[in-house]
Amino acid sequence: MKIMHLVHRSWPYHGGAERYVLEHALAGERWGHESVICTTDAWDMSWFVSRSGQNIKRKTDIWNGIEIIRFPVLHPPFQNIYRAILRRISECGPDRYYYPNPIIPSLHRWLTEGKGFDFVHANAMPLMLYEGWYYSKKHGTGLASVPHANAGEKYRRLKALHYFSGCQKNILRKSSFVVAQSRFEKGLYTDMGIPEERIHISGSGIDPAEFTASSRDRGLKRLGAGAPVILCLTAHSMDRGTANIIGACRALLKKGRDFTLVLAGPVLPDVDDFLDSEEKLAEEFGDRIVITGYVSREERIDLLSAADIVLLPSRLDCFGIVVLEAWISEKPIIGCWSGAMPDIIRDGENGFLVSWGDTVSLMNRIEILLENEEIRQDMGENGRKAVLERWTWDKVTDRFYMRLSQCCPEGSCV
């Protein structure tokens, strides 16, 4: 089959959903399929809504045999007004044009004509799921929808009304199958009336071979820091718990604990505003806080090797690949009772789980790990075993293509 993979960004940008789609495209060849990734020209999320962001100039790339086609994001004048109009008059407008979904009319025009695809694998943003559904409906192909729905904690759901306020529920119901990253996410879809047998629980993965060249010394040198290192590696936002991390570490500093806090990855505007408002932050932390900005894949592995504790107290991540990256590096993780983390983190065995916003519990778990190297080692080793047993990319993508073969037993969904 020829498969179109739709996602909002792709290589060379390295992020969770981006890597998920790229690995599935690469794995298609192993299953006898041809893959093409269709995406935007965005480098960072701000390009979706503003020219102040960065974009990728190349319209196409070939990476490891995978064709990547980029469609330009449109930045119309008076964009907020334009979006408001489109939300009211366009098919599926309420979620298709809800901020920060990009406006990419050239992709829609391109998909109007048949491009020879037999199956569509649509990912992440409502606009991309809509375009996948549009192509599937117009040209009679199969469709796998992967919303990567970030809906908070099991008992404290984020209000995902805007995400599902247009056609999303209908798109999921009409899909050949829907991919969930966790049992919690699956529950969101069964509540929408999607039969359980049409929901595939996937999760994400990593390639352990990428981490064999890591260097703790090189990572510490990059940071200009000494041990112990507390690392949070994500796109930093308030929903990902960055302010809670700073609050917990501030309390630990007052107790006389010595460490370096590393906030690695892009800093989104809400956290940028928070940092600007914290006038005493530099005075309190001094050189014991490092904010890196975006880090490459090569830098990631060294930072993880340099870390003693990895944090992801986020209610926004539907899976959290950094959990697996920490474990393959034999590091303990402190996650959140959110998304897939309760499915994969066994609290007290291969990491800790805290409620989002619970700064006191987060501080307590960090302190336990700072004080006890043996617990850190045991958790890291247990986590590594879990990754090798279930969470490598080969295993994750094989589960997807096995499900796809069940939907398309003759090799075509046309």
**Contact predicate 370/309, CB 8 Å:** yes
pTM (predicted TM-score): 0.86
Q: Which residue has the higher pLDDT, 376 or 282?
A: 376
pLDDT at residue 160 tops 60:
no
Homologous superfamily assigned to 2-205+392-407: Glycogen Phosphorylase B; (3.40.50.2000)
Digit-coded pLDDT (tens) for 355-366 = 999 999 999 999
Question: Considering the chain, what is the average pLDDT of its residues?
Answer: 92
- The secondary structure of residue 72, as a DSSP letter, is P
E-assigned strand segments in 320-368:
333-336, 351-354
pLDDT of 412 reads: 59
Digit-coded pLDDT (tens) for 206-249 = 999 999 999 999 999 988 887 799 999 999 999 999 999 999 99
Which of 84-98, 160-174, 218-232, 356-370 is predicted least confidently?
160-174
HSE of 375 in the Cβ direction (CA atoms, 13 Å)?
Answer: 16
pLDDT at residue 151 tops 70:
no
Alpha helices in 192-310 (DSSP H): 216-223, 242-254, 269-277, 281-285, 297-306
In angstroms, rounded to a whole number, what is the distance separating the alpha carbons of residues 157 and 188? Answer: 10
C-beta contacts of 366-374 below 8 A and 24+ residues apart = 366/230, 366/248, 366/249, 366/252, 366/309, 366/311, 366/334, 367/252, 367/255, 367/257, 369/308, 369/309, 369/332, 369/334, 370/228, 370/252, 370/257, 370/259, 370/308, 370/309
In angstroms, rounded to a whole number, what is the distance separating the alpha carbons of residues 384 and 331? Answer: 9
Report which of 64, 58, 65 is spatially closest to residue 43, judged by C-alpha positions: 58
In terms of CATH architecture, what is 208-390?
Answer: 3-Layer(aba) Sandwich (3.40)
pLDDT at residue 352 tops 90:
yes
CA distances from 231 to 203, 216, 263, 288, 363 (A): 23, 13, 6, 12, 14
Would you state the structure tokens that stand for residue 190, as one six-digit string? 């069964």
Report which of 77, 381, 369 is spatially closest to residue 252, judged by C-alpha positions: 369
Which of 84-88, 109-113, 187-191, 247-251 is predicted least confidently?
187-191
In angstroms, rounded to a whole number, what is the distance separating the alpha carbons of residues 100 and 83? Answer: 10
Would you state the structure tokens that stand for residue 173, as one six-digit string? 């119901």
Query: What φ, ψ does residue 261 adopt, rounded to 5°?
Result: -90, 125
In angstroms, rounded to a whole number, what is the distance separating the alpha carbons of residues 317 and 150? Answer: 6
Q: Where are the domains of the chain?
A: 2-205+392-407, 208-390
Indicate the angle between helix axes 242-254 and 359-371, nearest 10 degrees: 60
Query: What φ, ψ does residue 349 adopt, rounded to 5°?
Result: -110, -55
Three-state SS for 71? strand
